[in-house]
Chains A and B, each alone.
Chain A
Amino acid sequence: MREIAGELIIATVRGLIMDAAVDLEPDCATALALARRQESSPLARDLLDLLLANVEIARQEKIPLCQDTGIGVIFVELGQEVHVAGDFVAAVQEGVRLGYRDGYLRMSVCDPLTRQNTNTNTPAVVHVESVPGDLLTLRFLPKGCGSENMSSLAMLPPSAGSAGIVDFVCQRVVAAGSNPCPPVVVGVGIGGTFEKAPLLAKRSLLRPLGQAHGREDVAALESQILARLNATGQGVLGLGGSTTALAVHIELYPTHIASLPVAVNIQCHAHRHKECVL
């Protein structure tokens, strides 16, 4: 058994949170710069220049890219040969509390009924998966809810097939309009069950932008949806242009013979994520 101290987990999560809010990962910054080069609308080009300038200001001055510093979503891969003394999830949540406080990030978590702010941005949503080995991987995604609110799930009939999947995904992104801050990253989960598909969709957002799915037919579906979205003319911030989406990521899981769950999780252009392997 490999021992990992709770203090290390707290410090690591705190650091991931503070970095993610101000330092856009290269995959997303590169995708924005590429879109700027390919964009045909003058207004959209100006807007992409502003978004790229925003990335630089955030990084240099440690001002959050977006004031919505999100509700924390943390995917954990916990090696079976790792032992953490004490309460593992409590350590993660403590890291979340410190990261949001020390990073001057916005407290956006509240009771769903009373709307009373918890004032700590905890609890984060934590998904723990057991994997072979002696490593602990922490993946942090601060999820802004302008885009999260535009997400949805359909339990399609299997007869809908690929065409039905493409129609549903495109219809959701188009209906979202300018609300989720396009150009968006579209996470799609196909298969599994009612709760599995959205989890696949969310997880797919962690794949580096520009990396296609490993299965050829799935990668083709990703390209098809991306091309169709960028042909809508919706464009940057819904103000027109050829850049409505930066990427479409699909993840699959086998499903029941009667079922075709499809989940769409929309992410904004400030696609913040950070990860660390301990």
Chain B
Amino acid sequence: MFENLRKIKLPLTDAVVRSLTAGDLVSLSGELYTGRDQTHRRLCGLLDKGLPLPVDLDGHLIYYVGPSPARPGAVIGAAGPTTSYRMDPYTPRLLEMGVRATMGKGARSAEVRQAMLAHGAIYLATIGGAGALLSKRVRASEVVAFADAGPEAMFRFEVIDFPAVVINDVHGRDFYEMQGQRGG
């Protein structure tokens, strides 16, 4: 599967985002930011107060992951995706801030799909439950915000050949739905 994937550079360009279609298998290389429940709650808390975000998310991909701790000498521990619907309440606001792609596992809400259409953003799924394998595709990792949240902190990852499937494209297509298998 790794051999025939379309290679994509991160951060994504507008042209690349628009060229991707639901069901495309891709291999991502470059810089992304991570965040799960607490990072999303806090990012939106900052926006509520009119405060600046800790990093400029414009054009970036947010990967929903709470990694396990790195063993001594390792870049990161297991680093597979968490379930995306828990981030649904926060996602439209982050798309407004310029986030062009999100990545996790599982279907998104109608509101998020609508917001993706409005902002020309996409959603990808990576391999749930393959945390050890995916950890080998993370070349560098640093905490950029909310360190006190432990595994829920916001990290910057440098990834290489990170496998993913495009679920929602800019045309409103949904790969889970296209198979008639969209879950709740």
Residues of A close to B128: CB separation below 8 A: 146, 178, 181, 237, 268
A174 to B179, CA, bound (A): 13
Interface string of B146-184 (1 = CB under 8 A from A): 000111100000000001010000000001100111111
Please state if A238 and B176 are interface contacts (CB–CB under 8 Å).
yes
Number of residues on chain A facing chain B (CB within 8 A)? 49
Q: Is B68 an interface residue (CB 8 A)?
A: yes
Shortest distance from the beta carbon of B167 to any chain A beta carbon, whole Å: 9
Residues of A within 8 A of B183 (CB): 174-179, 234, 238
Most buried by B among A22, A54, A233: A54
Size bracket, chain B contacts:
35 or more
Known: A105-B68, A117-B149, A179-B83. A65 touches B181 (CB 8 A): no
Report the minimal beta-carbon distance from A34 to chain B, rounded to whole angstroms: 17
Q: Given the complex, which residues of B lie within 8 Å of A107, measured CB to CB?
A: 150-151
Chain A at the B interface: mostly helix, strand, loop or mixed? loop
1/0 contact trace for A60-85 toward B, CB 8 Å? 01111111110000000000000000
Whether a CB of chain B sits under 8 angstroms from the CB of A106 is yes
Name the segment of A45-53, A186-194, A198-206, A252-260 touching the other chain: A45-53
Which residues in chain B, 24-55, are within 8 Å of chain A measured between CB atoms? 25, 37-38, 41
Question: Which A residues between 150 and 199 are near B, CB-CB below 8 angstroms?
Answer: 174-181
Does residue B113 face the partner (Cβ distance < 8 Å to A)?
Answer: no
Contact yes or no, B106 A51, CB < 8 A: no
| Most chain A CB neighbours (cut-off 10 Å) among B83, B125, B180 | B83
Task: Please determine whether A65 and B132 come into contact, CB atoms closer than 8 angstroms.
Answer: yes
Cβ of A130 under 8 Å from chain B: no
Taken together as a complex, chains A and B put the C-alpha atoms of A66 and B83 apart, in Å, by 13
CA distance A176 to B175 in the complex (A): 16
Are the C-beta atoms of B85 and A179 separated by less than 8 Å? yes
Q: Which residues of B in the span 66-113 have a Cβ within 8 Å of any Cβ on A?
A: 66-71, 74, 77-80, 82-83, 85, 105-107
Q: Tell which of A47, A62, A115 touches B38, judged by Cβ atoms closer than 8 Å.
A: A115
Tell me if B78 and A108 are in contact (CB < 8 A): no
A54 contact from B65, B131, B165, B179, Cβ within 8 A: B131
Q: Report chain B residues within 8 Å CB of A218.
A: none
Closest to B65 in A: A67
CB atoms of A177 and B150 under 8 A apart? no
| Chain B residues positioned under 8 Å from A64 (CB to CB) | 68, 77-78, 131-132
Closest to A59 in B: B132
- Please measure, in the bound complex, the distance between the C-alpha atom of A57 and the C-alpha atom of B149, giving whole angstroms: 28
Nearest chain B CB to A266's CB is how many angstroms away? 11
B136 within 8 A of A: yes
Q: A235: CB under 8 A from chain B?
A: yes
Q: Are the CB atoms of A106 and B66 closer together than 8 Å?
A: yes
From A43, A105, A174, A237, name the one whose CB has the most chain B CB atoms within 10 angstroms: A237
Taking a contact as CB atoms under 8 Å apart, the answer to whether B131 and A66 are in contact is yes
Interface, chain B (partner A; CB < 8 A): 1, 25, 37-38, 41, 65-71, 74, 77-80, 82-83, 85, 105-107, 125, 127-133, 135-136, 149-152, 163, 165, 175-176, 179-184
- 13 A-B pairs within 8 Å (CB atoms) are namely A46-B1, A50-B1, A53-B130, A63-B68, A63-B78, A65-B132, A66-B80, A66-B131, A68-B82, A117-B152, A174-B183, A178-B176, A235-B181
Interface residues of chain A, those whose CB is within 8 Å of chain B, are 22, 43, 46-47, 49-51, 53-54, 57-58, 61-69, 104-108, 115, 117, 119, 146, 149, 174-181, 232-235, 237-240, 268-270
Closest 10 CB pairs of A and B: A177-B183, A181-B128, A67-B78, A46-B1, A179-B106, A175-B184, A63-B132, A58-B132, A106-B68, A54-B133
